[in-house]
Amino acid sequence: MKRILLIEDDPEVARLVELELSEAGFGVLWAKGGIEGLTLFRQHRPDLVILDLGLPDLDGAEVARRIRATDETPILVLTAQDGVERKVGLLSDGADDYLVKPFHPAELLARVQVQLRHREGSEVLSVGQLELYPRRRQVFFAGREVRLSPKEFDLLHLLMSRPGRVFPREEIEEKLWGKPLGRESNVLDVHVANLRAKLREAGAYGYLRTVRGLGYALRPGREGDEA
């Protein structure tokens, strides 16, 4: 079942949207404000976000920017403003589509289905039997899902973006944490160890390589082949 996060403070609109989506077979999470919405987003990683702009605690555009800063999940914005400048601004803030209030539930459902089809057709990164779906934030090895934490996923995504390339520690830290963590930090080592263990458990032996003195690389391997 696809999960949709609805961030909407108007109970009547929320009930209308939830009813339409539930009848279409979607699971719906409802947040009444921006802060709650961001929390539910991090906890549940929905397949799509429906976001109202007029939230009481945090501007909807800011919610969209925060989601888009770390994730490519489709965002469908609900807005009462129909001006061209506002629409351009919404797309600049990270929205994938928008719907002007009042709207017909059938149109909302159609737009949701379009965005989900786009997401399903998004780029897949593959190395050997390891597959990573960036927009869905899912990883599979030999057809079986590998459950990763957000940082483990980001680390694997980075390494799979250039298979075989050795990424220096400093570059990885810069991309994942926004700055080098320093020689005394073992944060990256912990995430590498956890990711390697999960890949090994899934059968992906030797995929995550440590190149001593240089950094880390991702390439196909076999059991007993890990560095």
Whether residue 120 is predicted with pLDDT greater than 80 in this model: the reply is no
Sign of dihedral through CA atoms 208, 211, 214, 219?
negative
Q: How many C-beta atoms surround the C-beta of residue 168 within 10 A?
A: 14
pLDDT, residue 223, reads: 43
Say what the pLDDT of residue 224 is: 41
Mean pLDDT of 170-176: 91
At residue 225, does pLDDT exceed 90? no
pLDDT at 140 over 90: yes
For the chain, helix (H) and strand (E) counts, in that order, are 8, 12
pLDDT at 38: 96
195 or 119, which is more confident: 195
Which is more confident, 113 or 88? 113
- Residue pLDDT, tens place only, 44-103: 889 899 999 889 999 888 999 898 887 778 999 998 876 666 666 777 777 888 898 889
pLDDT at 82 (0 to 100): 66
Residue entry with tokens 């934490």:
149
Could you write out the DSSP letters of every residue in 129-195? TEEEETTTTEEEETTEE----HHHHHHHHHHHHSTTPPEEHHHHHHHHHSS---TT--HHHHHHHHH
Answer whether residue 25 shows pLDDT above 70: yes
113-119: average pLDDT:
82
pLDDT band at 165 (very low <50, low <70, confident <90, very high): very high
Kindly report the pTM of this predicted structure: 0.56
Indicate whether 222 pLDDT > 60.
no
User: What pLDDT shows up at residue 83?
Assistant: 64
